Amino acid sequence: MGETIKLTSPADGFEFSAYHEPSFTPRKGGVIVIQEIFGIDQYVRADVARWAKAGYEAIAPALFDRRQHDFVAPHDADGIAAGIAHARATPMEQALADIEACRDFLAPRGKVCVVGYCYGGSLAWIAAARLGGLAAAASYYGSMVKANAHLKPRCPTIVHLGRTDPGIPADEVEAAVKESNPDVPVYIYEGAGHGFNNESPERYSAEAADLARQRTRHLFDAAV
């Protein structure tokens, strides 16, 4: 059963919340689950539970706690606007420091991987390049990946994109990643849009989500 715990940022000493769940089966390693713009909602918690059932101690940091504690937004126009405002107002170094705190919490018990979705997909890509101590990373449809494609991941990393995502041109992102990181697999899922891993009815693509999860689990299992 998951629970909310408190961690301290190494950057500014701020105590933020994180949703944590121990592994259900013999522990393979740790996974940091990085949120979408909607906060630590039911879908992020469900993803933490999936990783726990797969044998990973999982933790999802509440990256907007400094601006609004326990922020959770609906998947509508107002929720999107609120989430984007929080994401834009959150300095990159601050978010990376919170991810670093999660890494340091998990690391004493084994290797640590990171997976992120939407806003978190961008952060997973950047964390893989800028933070040490990560065993593997999976980035799902991050809007900042293209602009940061020149960064060199320090660990095995994969990128997942939806073909019909209206805000992230999959072919352009793939080309940018391949130009600087030809060995990084970029998977494009036909018929899948933005947020296809999220099980909300308006976004979920079961076929794409299942395949992407298989690929991500294979990467993480090999890394830990």
User: In this predicted model, what pLDDT tens digit does every residue of 125-179 receive, in sequence order?
Assistant: 999 999 999 999 999 999 999 999 999 999 999 999 999 999 999 999 999 999 9
Domain extent listing, the chain:
3-223
pLDDT (0 to 100) of residue 66: 97
pLDDT higher than threshold 90 for residue 25: no
pLDDT single digits (tens) 67-81: 999 999 999 999 999
Give whole-number Cα distances, 206 to 27, 46, 186, in Å: 27, 15, 19
What dotted CATH number matches 3-223?
3.40.50.1820
Looking at every residue in the chain, the average pLDDT score rounds to 97
Q: What is the C-alpha to C-alpha distance for residues 184 and 207, in angstroms, rounded to an integer? A: 22
The pTM assigned to this predicted structure is: 0.97
Q: What is the pLDDT of residue 209?
A: 96
H or E element, residue 126: helix 119-130
Query: By the 8 A CB rule, do 11 and 94 touch?
Result: yes
